[in-house]
Copies of this chain bind each other. A is one copy, B any other.
Amino acid sequence: MEARRSQVVVGIDPDPARLWPAASERAPEARALLAGSLVAADRAAAEVAGRVSGTPPAARVAGDARFGTAAAVLAHCLALIDAAAPACVAAKPQFAFFEQLGFPGWLALEHVCARARAAGLLVIADAKRGDVPSTAAAYARALTGDPLAADAITANPLMGRDAVAPLLTAARARGAGAFLLVRTSNPGAADVLDLELAGGRPLWERLAEMTAELGAAAPGAPAAGDPGAGLADVGAVTGATAPEHLARMRELMPRTPFLLPGIGAQGGDVAALAPAFAPGRAAGLVSASRSIAGAGEARGGDPAEAARAEAERLRETAWSLV
C-alpha cells in the first residue's frame, strides 16, 4: 500500500451483457491466452492417455459458445485491469461471474489473476466460501494454490469456527489470508447479521469478536498490547453502506484489516470510512466494482479513461483520510 499509495481494490464482476465495447481490441490477446492453455492441456491429455485411440467424442456445442463468451469477458478484464491498476493495490475477481461460463470461465479467471499479479496487484478471491472442515481446506487450496494463487479470500463464517479455521490454516500455508463476512453491504444483511442476540448485541458483533479471536490466535499474530505490532492475517468484510457501525467494528477488531465493499454503485461514501483507518492506512481496503468499471456509462467518455479517473479519485480520497 505504501509503495502504491493506494488502498483501492478494483472489483472484477464482468457481466457478459455489459462489457466495454472497446475491449474487443484486446480479444486476440485474450483468445491467444485461452487457446494457449487449451492447447497445452490438450497435449497433456494426449500424453496422459497415450494417444487416445479413435477419434475424440464430437465437439460439444455448448462448450464452444461458452468459449467465445469467456474470451470476450477475459478481453474486458484485461482492459479493466490495465486501466485501473495504476491507482489500485488489489484486484478482487468475483467468482460467480466466471463460474457462470463453466470451465472456459474458470480458465479465464486463472488468466485474470495472472494479469492482476503482473500489473503489481494483490489478488483477493471473492468467492465467499464456507463449509465443513475438510471441504473448507480444499476451498482454500483451490483459491490460494497455483495458478489462482490469491493473496486473500473472502469466507463465510456461518458454519462456525471449525469450518473457518482449516480454511485459514490452508491459506496461511501459502502465505495468504482471509476476510470473513461480518456485516455485508446489501440491504438484506439486516435480516440475519443484525439479529439481536440474547444480551442485546447484534449477531455481527459476535462474528466480529470471532474474527478478532481467530486473528489473535494465528502463529506470529501481533501482540495485543503493542500499538506498533501491525495487523492480523484474518480480515473482515465490513459493508461500507453501514458506516455508523465502523467505529464499533474497529473497537471489537483493533488489529483486523477491513475490506470495505459497497463504494459507489451500492451507495457507500468513501469519506465516511475514516474510522476504519484508525490503526493506519493499511487497516482498510476500499473496494469498488461497478463504480469503476461503469464510470464511462455513468459519465460518458471512454470507459477505460473513465475507470482510471474514478479509481484515481477513490485512491486520492481514501489516502487523504488518514
Binding site for B on A (CB under 8 A): 13, 15, 28, 31-49, 52, 56-60, 62-64, 67-68, 71, 94, 96-97, 99-107, 110, 128-136, 138-139, 141-143, 145-148, 156-164, 181, 184-193, 195-200, 203, 206-207, 210, 266
Contacts and interface: CB of A to CB of B under 8 A. Distances in A.
Nearest to A192: B160
9 contacts: A36-B56, A37-B63, A99-B142, A100-B145, A128-B156, A132-B184, A158-B193, A163-B189, A192-B203
A39 B56 contact: yes
A142 B104 CA distance: 12
A131 B196 CA distance: 22
Contact of A31 (B45, B62, B158, B210): B45
A196 B64 CA distance: 51
Contacts of A147: 60, 62-63, 102
A34 B44 CA distance: 11
A209 B94 CA distance: 30
A100 B158 contact: no
A3 to B, nearest CB: 28
Contact of A162 (B60, B158, B188, B195): B188
A57 B32 contact: yes
Contact of A103 (B106, B139, B193, B200): B106
Given A44-B59, A102-B147, A157-B192, 18 more contacts: A35-B49, A44-B63, A62-B146, A96-B135, A102-B148, A156-B156, A158-B181, A160-B184, A160-B187, A160-B189, A160-B190, A160-B192, A161-B191, A163-B184, A163-B189, A195-B206, A197-B197, A198-B200
Nearest to A68: B48
Contacts of A44: 59, 63-64, 67-68
A193 to B, nearest CB: 7
Given A62-B147, A147-B62, A34 B45 contact: yes
